[in-house]
Amino acid sequence: MQGNTACAEGALAAGCRFFAGYPITPSTEVAEHMAVKLPKTKGVFIQMEDEIASIAAVIGASWTGARAMTATSGPGFSLMMENIGYAAMTETPCVIVNIQRGGPSTGQPTLGAQGDMLQCRFGSHGDYSIIALSPASVQEMFELTVKAFNLSERYRVPTFLMGDEIIGHMRERLTIPDSVEVIGRKKLDPGTMPFKAGGDDIPGFPVFGEGYGVHVTGLTHDERGYPATTNPKAHEKLVMRLVRKVESARKEIADYRVTSPDAEQVFVSYGAPTRTVHQVLHDRPKEEIGHLQLRVVWPFPEFALSEFPEAKSFLVPEMNLGQMAREMERHTDVPVIPIPKLGGELHTPDELVRALEGSR
């Protein structure tokens, strides 16, 4: 199955019943598959007039109780940023799939990249936190789409599946389980203020049509949901909770794979470059080369770096100019060696081997 189709199948398995989007290369197959399948599951597919309207429709659908998603790439992702901030402020569960392509601007619509990894984390204005996952195979496109929905619903936060054109358009064997774990959102208890959170910092969600009257606004609001824009303490309390509910659960959210933890040279990868790292490890089985594959990229699991206590260098192949390598440098004294690649082509094994030999 194609990676984009596997993403759509993962969404359906996770209970997604609403999709709003606008066709854009190289993500269009996600929308096309959802357009065919959603009506057969009593779901709703709607093609909006643009990406701004698409994410707005997804947010609205989520507030009616639906598991909702959109898929886009490049310029469409940029257009969504204001409403992604609105989703963060209103604590709206939703999944945004970004099949990345070369940029900036129109860039390379038909070729892969990973240039949006910082945009997904910091693209909207203000302080907030999100969750982002990055698949490296068609199987992971399915699995991590399911996981994205569960994390979004659990933490009431916009969650991103940061794929790329290479994984989105490749075809591999896919195993679809008979069922997947589906984690629902916490319900709001009757009589509880709609934005009052307990010890986990996550408020319950009102059930649409069951008598709750809830005011929802992107303005700074109090626990009733009413605007409190001129109250410094209310703003600080709200924003700190929006950040804390994700950042305090970093270890619970984290998803990574460790190979050869005693190695001195360690590749750190996410998404498509992971495949080249696997090829290097396969071709050099007698060498002690470590590998950390990040399946959840945000919140960044800095504690995963300690899985390699003997590491003398971290090599980071990325299809950008070193976006996540910069994040790694904040969390370790071990030298971080970026291996950037632009132009839409995946790293070759020889390129990684040369970087490996140069780091010794």
203 cis-preceded (ω within 30 degrees of 0): no
Would you say residue 17 lies in a domain? Answer: yes
Work out the average pLDDT over 45-58: 98
Domain of 260, CATH number, reads: 3.40.50.920
In the structure encoding, which two tokens stand for residue 303, read together? 């504690």
Q: In this predicted structure, what is the pLDDT of residue 360?
A: 78
SS3 for 116?
Answer: coil
Would you say residue 223 lies in a domain? Answer: no
In the structure encoding, which two tokens stand for residue 27, read together? 């993500």
- The tens digit of pLDDT for each residue in 324-338 reads 999 999 999 999 999
Among 169, 195, 215, give the residue marking a domain's end. Answer: 169
SS3 for 32?
Answer: helix
Whether 265 and 133 share a structural domain:
no
Helices (H), 161-306: 165-169, 232-247, 250-253, 273-283
- The tens digit of pLDDT for each residue in 163-175 reads 999 999 999 999 9
Confidence band for 287, pLDDT divided at 50, 70 and 90? confident
How far apart, in whole angstroms, are the C-alpha atoms of residue 343 and residue 331?
29
Query: Global pTM?
Result: 0.97
How far apart, in whole angstroms, are the C-alpha atoms of residue 210 and residue 142?
33
Q: Residue 298's domain spans which residues? A: 256-358
In the structure encoding, which two tokens stand for residue 117, read together? 């990894």
- The tens digit of pLDDT for each residue in 64-109 reads 999 999 999 999 999 999 999 999 999 999 999 999 999 999 999 9
How far apart, in whole angstroms, are the C-alpha atoms of residue 152 and residue 185?
9
Residue 211 has pLDDT above 80, yes or no: no
Residue 359 has pLDDT above 90, yes or no: no
DSSP character at residue 184: P
Amino acid at 300: F
Least confident of 180-184, 209-213, 286-290, 306-310: 209-213
Tell me how far CA of residue 157 lies from CA of 93, 220, 225, 356, in angstroms. Answer: 5, 17, 17, 38
Count the domains in the chain.
2
Q: In this predicted structure, what is the pLDDT of residue 102?
A: 97
Mind giving me the DSSP string for 129-159? --EEE---SHHHHHHHHHHHHHHHHHHTSEE
Would you say residue 295 lies in a domain? Answer: yes
| Average pLDDT over all residues of the chain | 97
Confidence band for 314, pLDDT divided at 50, 70 and 90? very high
Among 123, 154, 169, give the residue marking a domain's end. Answer: 169
Confidence band for 190, pLDDT divided at 50, 70 and 90? confident
Confidence band for 247, pLDDT divided at 50, 70 and 90? very high
Domain of 36, CATH number, reads: 3.40.50.970
Whether 115 and 263 share a structural domain:
no
